[in-house]
A and B are shown apart, each in its own frame.
Chain A
Amino acid sequence: MNFVEALREGHLYQLENNDSTYIIGLGVNYANGADGSTKGLAELYPDRVLDVPVSELSFTGMAVGMASQGLRPIVHHGRIEFAMLAFDQIFTQASRWDYMFGGNYPCPVALRICIGRQWGNGPQHTANYHSIFMQAAGLDIFIPATPLDAYRASIYSTLIDKPSVLLEHRWLYKTMEQFELGYDVTHDKFETAAIYGDGEDFTLLTYGDGLVECLKFIDFSKEKYGYQGKVICLKYFSADKRYSEDTIKALLACKNVVAVDTAPFEGGILASFIGFAITHNKHEKINIEKCAPPHHPCPTSPALVGEYYPNVKSIAASLANFGFEFNELPELVFDDLHIAPGFDYTNYKFVNIY
């Protein structure tokens, strides 16, 4: 099952199991609605899968109002730049609703916002503004990295009594994973991170679509050079506590850490997490390198984008700062740099951290 199909299965599960569930967004009723993630759902639930006017502010606000009165709307924004037209409703209304009214007045609107890289999309369709949401106290943040994450987050986010945002990396839509539907949907917690692999030589810290390049690098460095590494992938940032103690402990136990960010590093999610971990544990020392795009928007031309996002080569260059030697690196072809990967996660072992 790929990432998009997993989201669709999550929606189908909720539409079947809770009559209060609505899916609202531009073109969600199309044959291939929301990039396929709502495909066929409007035929099954015509009153609850709703196309809307191109009025991001008002349809998002309508969903916030619906959620305040006990319904469970899911709002889809195809690109974060369009969701930003609705920031009043997301930030100033939904995220503060329960708090400003003194509690016991939940507003469980679930927002799906597509974000990040895709060929040809350029400076105004590829913004990686994850960190903006971190300051929206009251809002739960999910950044799924795999189809299983996407499936579970799409359900979990509609079960909790908080407003939430799923930041979906379009780059991951073709990634694959085999898992059983119904898996763990009633679990009362969502993992804040997962650790892939158990190598001690180095650690890659990432989230979202950074995971694919990190796992590719782990495989490459093991096969070619015998290095043993692991990946810490951040997945969920609760409104109540953005970073968990156990994830901080996991990071501080590592050596030779490279933060692999697909958004510019400064002011980003990983910089924030690392900063918090260090201030929180002031006696620990940890060496961290970064591997991230430069601090400018993503351009459009493939000739320019090729150098923008982290890849196996740039991760190797960051690790070289710790003394690792990579004399020979793989040649990256056009598809490696520009086409969404059909990467299969199925055989990668991971351990969740809560």
Chain B
Amino acid sequence: MLSTEFSMNLLSKMVQIRAVEELIADDFFKSKIFSFLHLSIGQESSAVGVCSALETDDLVMGNHRSHHHYLAKGGDFDKMVYEVYGDSRGCCKGYGGSMHMLDRSVGFVGSTPILGSVAPLGTGIGFSIKASKKNNIAVVFIGDGAAEEGAFYESINLAALMNVPVLFVIEDNKYSVISAHSDRKAKDYSYPKIIEGLGATYHRMEARDVNAVSKQTKLMKENILADRKPAVLHLDVVRGTYGHSGPMKEKAPGYRVNDTPEFIEANDCITVSKDLLIQNGVEPEKVEALIANTIKETEEKFLNIRNQIKVRI
């Protein structure tokens, strides 16, 4: 059982990520940001849940959509905001932008946006951990689209062959841009058959409850280190009200399969995790106060940085 304090911290982190991304989206719509953006809104629980089970020396790689991975691993908030605006105080001094998050001091060793390419990179990072004989793992976040690239399948086999301690996390929001799984996969496509057949363990779950994700990740990390074999954690997440990139705000777009605006709201990871805390006996006022304070603090912090940045007028 996770402590209440721990669960409250996870909720607070998710709220912080959402709040800052909403602020960034606002400025993007006002043509103040000239970095491509991919927002994680709706998917915060996968990053926060996974990273809450890791130590600093567990090394994480992300992808084109990685604000949440970076912040969840403890990446510097200010440096992320600066980077998105192309300011030299950013985590990559403005050379990378939103798709290149980096904070090596907390074990977030980079995000790169060529989809499945992070799978081999993460395997190499896991190899370096193995060579150093540390009791840690590498974690690679990829999307359900990227998980269709050969680099992913090749990497599972390679990592299994070389006993590389790596956890591949598939964040499955059901869409590659706006292509659904049924547009992209054979009728009998089977994740467990493929992944277990390549030599990794496989577990699939809903990611709405951040605590459940945290517990599962902890268990899988232990198994990776004990069994000396890679693993795949397949997390079903809900794409929020923003589309693939841009960002673009979506109101009931035609491509969505079952996730109506009502479904998205009802299954939102922050709402679900908040309700679970209350069900477990935390006073609703306390939870609401935590959320309100986190949003307020995040806005203040963001505006403080934002006011120091020269942006297009």
Contacts and interface: CB of A to CB of B under 8 A. Distances in A.
Nearest to A109: B124
Contacts of B123: 58, 61-62, 65
> What size tier do the contact residues of chain B reach?
35 or more
B124 A57 contact: no
Given A93-B114, A100-B92, A103-B93, A55 B121 contact: no
A137 to B, nearest CB: 13
Interface in A91-105: 92-93, 99-103, 105
Nearest to A59: B158
A93 B102 CA distance: 15
B128 A53 contact: no
A160 interface: no
8 contacts: A52-B161, A58-B120, A61-B151, A62-B127, A66-B127, A69-B109, A70-B128, A89-B120
A93 B114 CA distance: 9
B234 interface: no
B120 A65 contact: yes
B121 A102 contact: no
A63 B158 CA distance: 12
A67 interface: yes
Interface string B143-164: 0000000110011011001100
B121 A64 contact: yes
A99 B117 CA distance: 18
B97 to A, nearest CB: 9
Given A61-B120, A69-B59, 16 more contacts: A58-B119, A58-B120, A58-B123, A58-B158, A62-B121, A64-B121, A65-B125, A65-B126, A68-B110, A88-B151, A100-B92, A100-B112, A102-B90, A102-B93, A105-B102, A105-B104
A60 interface: yes
B117 A93 contact: yes
Interface of B: 59, 90-96, 100, 102, 104, 109-110, 112, 114, 117, 119-129, 131, 150-151, 154-155, 157-158, 161-162
B237 to A, nearest CB: 25
A69 B102 contact: no
A62 B128 CA distance: 10
Given A61-B123, A105-B102, A99 B128 contact: no
A68 B155 contact: no
B251 to A, nearest CB: 35
A101 B92 contact: yes
A101 B151 contact: no
Nearest to B101: A101
A53 B95 contact: no
A58 B154 contact: yes
Interface in A76-120: 88-89, 92-93, 99-103, 105
A71 interface: yes
A93 B124 CA distance: 13
Contacts of B90: 102
A102 B127 CA distance: 24
Given A68-B109, A92-B114, A92-B117, A101 B158 contact: no
Contact of B127 (A65, A93, A103): A65
B109 A89 contact: no
Contacts of B128: 65-66, 69-71
Contacts of A53: 154, 157-158, 161
A100 B100 CA distance: 7
Contacts of B117: 61, 88-89, 92-93
Q: Which of B90, B91, B117 has the most chain A CB atoms inside 10 A of its CB?
A: B117
A52 B158 contact: yes
Contacts of B94: 102
Contact of B121 (A50, A68, A99, A101): A68
Contacts of B93: 102-103
Given A69-B125, A70-B128, A101 B102 contact: yes
A86 to B, nearest CB: 9
A93 B109 CA distance: 13
Contacts of B121: 61-62, 64-65, 68, 89, 93
Given A68-B110, A105-B104, A57 B150 contact: yes
B20 to A, nearest CB: 20
A53 B157 CA distance: 8
B95 A100 contact: yes
B155 A61 contact: yes
User: Of residues B59, B120, B127, B158, which shows the largest number of chain A Cβ atoms within 10 Å of its Cβ?
Assistant: B120
A200 B284 CA distance: 91
Contact of A60 (B59, B109, B110, B120): B120
Nearest to B115: A88
B120 A64 contact: yes
Contacts of A92: 112, 114, 117
Interface string A241-274: 0000000000000000000000000000000000
Contacts of B102: 101-102, 105
Contacts of A71: 127-128, 131
